Amino acid sequence: MLTRLSPFLLLVLLAALPFYGGLANVTPQSTDLNLLIDGLQRKYSRMQGLEADFVQVYQGADGRVARESGHLLLKRPAKARWDYASPERKVFVSDGKNVFFYVYGEKSATRSSIKETVDPQIPFLFLLGRGNLRRDFSRIEIANGESALVSGNMVLRLFPKRAPEEFKQLLVEVSPASFEVRRMVIFQRSGARMDFALSNLHENYIAPDGQFQFTPPQGVTVKRAE
């Protein structure tokens, strides 16, 4: 279930924030921090689409680690396609209204509405954002002690005002020169951690709408998610 829901949490982090407001509890590094927040807001509020490769690493509270990789397409306002290639081939598709999940080779796929899958007000989606980092997070700070994947990048720690019960906080790794987001990390209250590293980014890539339609393979039935 975690690997199914996490891409949508990222979608909600990649596509539906409201736009611009006032930051609560700004940390002492306010000058650099405000520059990063403003740069992120400007950049991703204008983003219409995105293409990237991704690596997703789940670290459970029990020490279990699972690594997956694939290809990602995003399109404003709330369309996404996650094609997992390794170690198991599967697909996660949002057409803007419904979310479909299918593991290749299985007899059935699942469908649920976006509203049923996750609270649409979750303030995570700024890669295709219409939102407001300052308003929807109670605190944003430099994540001291968290190493960046790319030298020179900075890592922000964000605490959402409203989130699913299992969600605790978010890390965002960003280039201070280009404001490009290269990694996101979701921390769950259970102690689990989910890292998403993005590479080969094509910003403002507008994928055809057909990429966000799920057509089940022959003999596969689509069931409502429980």
Q: What is the pLDDT along the chain (226 residues), one digit of tens a residue?
A: 444 444 445 444 444 333 223 333 334 444 588 888 888 888 887 888 889 999 999 999 999 999 999 999 988 888 889 999 999 999 999 888 888 999 999 999 999 887 766 533 333 345 655 567 787 788 899 998 889 988 999 999 988 776 655 677 889 899 999 998 889 888 887 888 888 899 999 989 999 999 999 999 999 999 998 7
206: which 2 tokens? Answer: 């507008």
Number of neighbouring beta carbons within 10 Å of residue 23: 18
- pLDDT at position 19, please? 29
- Per DSSP, the residues of 170-190 read EEEEE-TTT--EEEEEEEETT
- The CATH number fitting domain 2-214, selected from 3.50.70.10, 3.10.450.50, 3.20.20.140, 2.50.20.10: 2.50.20.10
Q: In whole angstroms, give the CA distance from residue 18 to residue 13.
A: 11
Q: In whole angstroms, give the CA distance from residue 167 to residue 197.
A: 19
- Domain borders along the chain are 2-214
- pLDDT at position 110, please? 92
Q: What is the pTM of this model?
A: 0.80
- pLDDT at position 96, please? 84
Which strands make up the sheet holding 221-224, listed edge to edge?
Answer: 137-142, 154-160, 167-174, 181-188, 193-203, 49-59, 65-75, 79-86, 90-95, 98-103, 108-113, 221-224
- pLDDT at position 100, please? 92
